[in-house]
Structure 1
Amino acid sequence: MLRAGIVGLPNVGKSTLFNALVANAKADAANFPFCTIEPNVGVVAVPDERLNVLAKISDSQQIVPTRIEFVDIAGLVKGASQGEGLGNQFLANIREVDAIVHVVRCFDDENIIHVSGSVDPGRDIEVINLELALADLAQVERRIERVRKQARANKDAQVELELLQRISAALNEGKSARQVSLTDEEEVTVKPLGLLTKKPIIYAANVAEDDLATGNDWVEEVRQVAKQENAKVVVVSAQVEAELVEIPEEERADYLESLGVEEGGLKSLIGATYELLGLRTYLTTGEKETRAWTINAGMKAPQAAGVIHTDFERGFIRAETVAYEDLVAAGSMAAAREKGLLRSEGKDYVVQEGDVMLFRFNV
């Protein structure tokens, strides 16, 4: 399951956003720093309207969406890499996630304390990124010391040492590990280090309700920072998300439309995360269930089948495949087959977003 860690300074709206996204979570949200100490974890279904459509076509008994796990990690502060504000514990929590959602305060409210005394997204982002970089630098330097001894007589260690020194130099220059160009082999070498600044990042610009549709100058500041490191920005409103939880589901679309937006923060964040991580979704449907499955972009049919069960990959024969739009237009799987829209794909087929698939395999 994909894990996304929600980070940021204290009192930027992390726990409020988390509570709203997870709906049933019980994370404390209060107006004082370090309200969150232990990370709160919530699993949410990934919104996908295609499942309801396919379930009707197949008269499915149940719908099973794919899921994403959000981890609400306590607020980081300046000095976290040296242990300030229980920083070491919080940094360890971040190492365990696949992607980082960095919540940045882009609203002004005199009733909500800002840990630095004022709203300044650029400064706030720099505080967090610096602490992540310092933690990575310490990690890399420790590894360099160990590898340097081995490098005197070991060519592989010499190669690793050169790689680590490149990363160390970038971190010292204020860059993230993401900005260091690495080969596939080098990626494998550094993966065990669990570098925090290597993780894909999405900046969630948390705005007041009135700025959700248009953004504001603070949001533009966040976008400028993100542009420098090819990160993504999603404009969200923890306030709106909290209000959505209280509104009947059938009324939420109208409420969002009244604010000038088409979707809530959950869908925006998940969409950005999937795009950032290069993820795709394929679908299976039948009388028993209609279900979504998450795979990596570029994955071939046997590996996609293996996501369901390893036996499917080992005994893969072929995949009967139809594009979601073609199946909906045809009205049924039988009609799609009659029209030649249902294809038989082999081991080299690269699964596409929205493929509806049925795997044939030997046990």
Structure 2
Amino acid sequence: MIQRRVTAINQPKIINNMALKAGIVGLPNVGKSTLFNAVSNSAKAQASNYRFCTIEPNTGLVNVPDPRMDKLAELVQPQRTVPTQIEIVDIAGLVRGASKGEGLGNKFLANIREVDAIIHVIRCFEDENILRDEGAINPLSDKEIIETELQLKDLDGVERKIARTEKMLKTGDAKLKLEYDVLLRCKEHLNKGKGIISMGLTKDEKEAIAENFFLSDKPVLYVANVDEASMHTGNKFSDALVAAAKAEGSEVIVMTNAIESQIAELEDPEDKAMFMEEYKMTEPALDRLIHSTYKLLNLSTYFTAGVQEVRAWTIHQGWKAPQAASVIHTDFEKGFIKAEVIAYDDFITYKSEAACRENGKLRIEGKEYIVHDGDVMHFRFNV
């Protein structure tokens, strides 16, 4: 039996196995693809002024900005730094009637079914040169159109699943009975014009219907795409959206997608700083959007820090140490012995692992330890 201590990872077979996606959705010509171009560091979507410009979903891996990693790197001086990432998908614009197949409705709904959270871009600016099928600017109406289409598609699925489940209830299967009961409640809720996510289902109830992948059961983050003059203050359109989102417990990021796209295209840090200074920005709104999306997906970060690399690793909030080790390699979870843990603030205060150890700030944690966001960790395991 060999006991190994993992500090930094630089092996081709080792991967971060998180695969959660956030999908950018919205009506046609609201700025979805412009936003995708801004956030994606691996792909560029076509952005044009006509319906269904985006047909096949564009996908990009997006680095999650984290100043904590930069501070760790300043202290450790590694050969490289590796940020954590999330996957962003740009999905075709939806139109009224999509649940019945209007426009690219079936393709849109199939694509959105595959994501774990929704970034809903809503137009909050007036511009007669940009096409709009729905008449006057009305962010609340736009919000309702997409919500209604998702709910109608779910209602159709619920009704069909109820019909199939009823035929099998005679078996007396308790799990089947629970699924059936939850589906009946879902149908009633959807018929009231409410999404499944607002039902407050228990963990067991969610698991009972999980295989259905209901569209209105996904968490939503709203982006109010405002004009340049409103980028710092918002406007009457974004204010209305913020109020509506607050009532349902959702967040709104107010930003100007075109400006954010220009910032993202600047590679030179000095050019970027000058551009932001010109627009009186302390940070790109994109950073807030990415952080909020990360939070919406219930994700958390821990770090490994060594001379080879400082790396950020993505885990689900509430994961225990062996689960956290598995994102480096599944063998680390199978052979987990213990974790050496330093709180991020302690690492920064004492400036090195050795100093943290000397001052009693390095803890030995076992299999039941719940990893905290920002923990600096090493794992010991058997192979």
Corresponding residue to 1:256 among 276, 279, 284:
276
Alignment of 1:229 with 2:282, yes or no, is no
Please name the residue that 2:305 is paired with. 285
Please name the residue that 2:112 is paired with. 94
Q: In structure 2, give the amino acid aligned to 1:245.
A: A
The answer to whether the 8 Å contact 2:35/2:260 transfers is yes
Matched residues in 1 for 2:283 and 2:223: separation?
Answer: 15
Matched residues in 2 for 1:253 and 1:132: separation?
Answer: 41
Alignment of 1:267 with 2:287, yes or no, is yes
Paired residues for 1:172-191 under 5 Å: 172-191=191-210
The answer to whether the 8 Å contact 2:302/2:373 transfers is yes
Matched residues in 2 for 1:227 and 1:28: separation?
Answer: 32
Please name the residue that 1:66 is paired with. 84
The number of equivalent residue pairs is: 363
Shift of 1:277: 2.6
Alignment partner of 1:26: what SS?
coil
Shift of 1:159: 2.5
- Gapped runs of 5+ residues in structure 1? none
Shift of 1:23: 4.8
Once the two structures are overlaid, the 10-residue window that deviates more, 156-165 or 195-204, is 156-165
Alignment of 1:118 with 2:139, yes or no, is no
Shift of 1:195: 0.5
The answer to whether the 8 Å contact 1:281/1:293 transfers is yes
Once the two structures are overlaid, the 10-residue window that deviates more, 245-254 or 96-105, is 245-254
TM-score, normalised to structure 2, is 0.91
TM-score, normalised to structure 1, is 0.96
Corresponding residue to 2:317 among 289, 297, 310:
297
Shift of 1:275: 2.1
Deviations 1:276-335 (A, max 9, x none): 232210000111111001111111111111121111112111111111121122111111
Alignment of 1:359 with 2:379, yes or no, is yes
Alignment partner of 2:201: what SS?
coil
Paired residues for 1:30-41 under 5 Å: 30-41=48-59
Deviations 1:117-142 (A, max 9, x none): 22100011111110010011111111
Corresponding residue to 2:349 among 324, 329, 348:
329
Matched residues in 2 for 1:349 and 1:237: separation?
Answer: 42
Corresponding residue to 1:166 among 174, 185, 194:
185
Once the two structures are overlaid, the 10-residue window that deviates more, 81-90 or 158-167, is 158-167
Once the two structures are overlaid, the 10-residue window that deviates more, 233-242 or 8-17, is 233-242
Give the RMSD, CA atoms, in angstroms. 1.5
Corresponding residue to 1:84 among 99, 102, 119:
102
The answer to whether the 8 Å contact 2:320/2:369 transfers is yes
Say which structure, 1 or 2, has more relative contact order (CA 8 Å, 6+ apart). Answer: 2
The answer to whether the 8 Å contact 2:178/2:205 transfers is no
Please name the residue that 2:211 is paired with. 192
Corresponding residue to 2:63 among 45, 48, 69:
45
Deviations 1:41-72 (A, max 9, x none): 11121111222222232221111111111110
Q: 1:23 to 1:59 in 2, by over 3 A?
A: closer
